[in-house]
Amino acid sequence: MTTPDEFTISRRCLLKAGAATASVPALVTAAPAIAAPPRTAGDAALSPVTLNVNGKVHRLSLDTRTTLLDALREHLHLTGTKKGCDHGQCGACTVMLDGRRINSCLTLAVMHEGAKVTTIEGLGTPGKLHPMQAAFVKHDGYQCGYCTPGQICSAVGMLGEIAQGIPSHVTEDLGAKPPLSSVEFRERMSGNICRCGAYSNIVEAITEVAGVNA
Ligand code: FES
Ligand code: FES
């Protein structure tokens, strides 16, 4: 058990130790200051990037972490491209990038200097719809419409991939051009989710544009 004397000694030692360590901060502050790294606006690294979106050149200065989807929606105010999951799982953000469809939520805008981007706003106009847009209207290829811009961009890109002879997981003959069949369409469009379940009408619209009896 600690006696009152022992307690007094211990307390005295403790005060001495405290006095000794009290001089440390003075030594630290005497050391030369290390310069802080340079900061940019908003403490983010901004980078210039030029994108050709729907035929119009845009010079942007973006946080390097900005996705292509956010660059389109938040910086260029092209809100036709939708953000569904933001994780590459729904296809709502599909756009055409240099002629290929891509999930714009999964790629950074600064990775695509000089690229040509086509969004749903660039495919057609209300007075002159793209054939795929017109076919979606004709065949009721949507209900709420949230997935529709991504579905249409994806369908356009998908037909382009078949035309180039790019096979899918259901293509049986890898030595021949893939067939324009509903099996191919459904497989190749499987990355575009429609929560309203308009799938059969979407396939009908694509089939009409492809010009086949799928
Ligand atoms: Fe990009 Fe869902 S928002 S895949
Ligand atoms: Fe509603 Fe596809 S039309 S999610």
Which residues are 195's β-sheet partners?
A: none
Question: How many angstroms does the Cα of residue 196 sit away from the middle of ligand 2?
Answer: 4
Cα–Cα distance, 164 to 188 (Å, whole number)? 14
| 124-214 CATH fold | DNA polymerase; domain 1 (1.10.150)
The residues pairing with 16 across neighbouring beta strands, listed in sequence order, are none
Domain with CATH 1.10.150.120 in the chain: 124-214
Model confidence over 61-81: pLDDT tens digits?
Answer: 999 999 999 999 999 999 999
Across the range 37-58, mean pLDDT stands at 83
pLDDT tens for residues 111-125?
Answer: 999 999 999 999 999
**Can you spell out the DSSP letters for 182-196?**
HHHHHHHTTTS--TT
What rounded mean pLDDT belongs to the chain?
87
Q: Is the pLDDT of residue 33 over 60?
A: no
* Homologous superfamily in CATH for domain 45-122: Beta-grasp domain (3.10.20.30)
Residues 134-186 pLDDT 10s: 999 999 999 999 999 999 999 999 999 999 999 999 999 999 999 999 999 99
Q: Which atom number of ligand 1 is nearest to the Cα of residue 191? A: 4
CATH 3.10.20.30 boundaries in the chain: 45-122
- Would you tell me the crossing angle of helices 199-210 and 148-163 to the nearest 10 degrees? 40
For ligand 2, whether the C-beta of 136 sits within 6 Å is: no
User: Does any ligand 2 atom lie closer than 6 A to the CB of residue 199?
Assistant: no
Closest Cα to atom 4 of ligand 1: 88
